[in-house]
Amino acid sequence: MTETTQREGDNAVRRSVLPGGLRIVTESLPAVRSAAIGIWASVGSRDEDLDHAGATHYLEHLLFKGTSKRTALEISAAMDAVGGELNAFTGKEYTCYYARILDADLPLAIDVLADMVTGSLIEPKDVDAERGVILEEIAMNEDEPSDTVHEAFAAQLYGDTPLGRPILGTVASINEITREQITDHYAARYTPPDLVVAVAGNVDHDSVYSFASQLSDSGMWATYIGCLPAKADEVLAICQEEIAKVISGGLTDAELDRGKGQLRGSLVLGLEDPSSRMSRLGKSELVYSRLEPVDEILASIEAVTHDDVRRVAADILGRPKVLAVVGPFDDDAPFAAALG
């Protein structure tokens, strides 16, 4: 795997190329509480021959219709359940499938999008159903002068070439295209070297992060890691090593400052949203002894010292651990041994 980092003001843009050719580009924005993820395929309408005219946009529709893991309804419901947005668009040179979610729900969005893009069934019944939908879309487009004039301009400029033809295809090409032609297009164009995963928001480029959850009389601190199955043992060992470092040595000055900044930013920006403020009021009334003023919370964050971190780390992170693993594993003994 190769990695590069580029600075964009105060933010870092990191790029990784996995062994199979998949590219991952992220921009970390610690002050926000949301994330946007897009899976981009380097295929657009200019990559179609006459036999496949409109296939790229047709395929965009079909990837929402179900996989071996999820039905079309389950794909939509998974994102609706967390208040997320899921959509896609097709251009002349690329197709993008994207989601906008809260940062804590990024693993769900990654799972849903990756499942759609790599595991679509493209059932014959869905091909037939979407044919009518796309023909209606073409008809609506032809009734909209602002869309029609752009297509007419492209046709005049580029002539009878892929760039001069409409992204949606034509009535004739959509009526004639077959499921086999669409699946051939899918198999040829949705390969790892043709795909880019782009993520921006409160994210950690290394698909790894920790989180805490507080209850009235309990709570949890956890680390989430997504990796290749073959790397699970190595990644778990690294995670254990990093936890041990925090227990024994605490954080660096830069890590402590960055953690304070993230907490301050997420708290203040979160309170600009009326829904977040409403949730704060309700939970405080039900679960906590009082509504803690924002200024008090900010002052408490600022007052945290290295000694505080070491003391809490030794107490919390030194306790017996719980591990949950999802993947193609038949034996849990190695994971149990890794936890000691």
Distance CA 33, CA 256 (A): 19
Distance CA 270, CA 213 (A): 16
Encoding tokens for residue 46? 């200019």
Encoding tokens for residue 183? 């699946």
Measured between alpha carbons, how far is residue 53 from residues 164, 233, 309 in Å? 11, 47, 60
Residue 322's closest CA among 334, 333, 312, 336?
336
Encoding tokens for residue 253? 């000055």
Is 136 catalytic? The answer is no
**DSSP E strand stretches across the chain:** 2-8, 11-17, 23-28, 34-41, 85-90, 95-102, 195-201, 208-214, 219-225
Residue 212's closest CA among 224, 226, 195, 204?
224
**Which candidate in 3, 48, 60, 234 is catalytic?**
60
Catalytic residue numbers, as ranges = 60
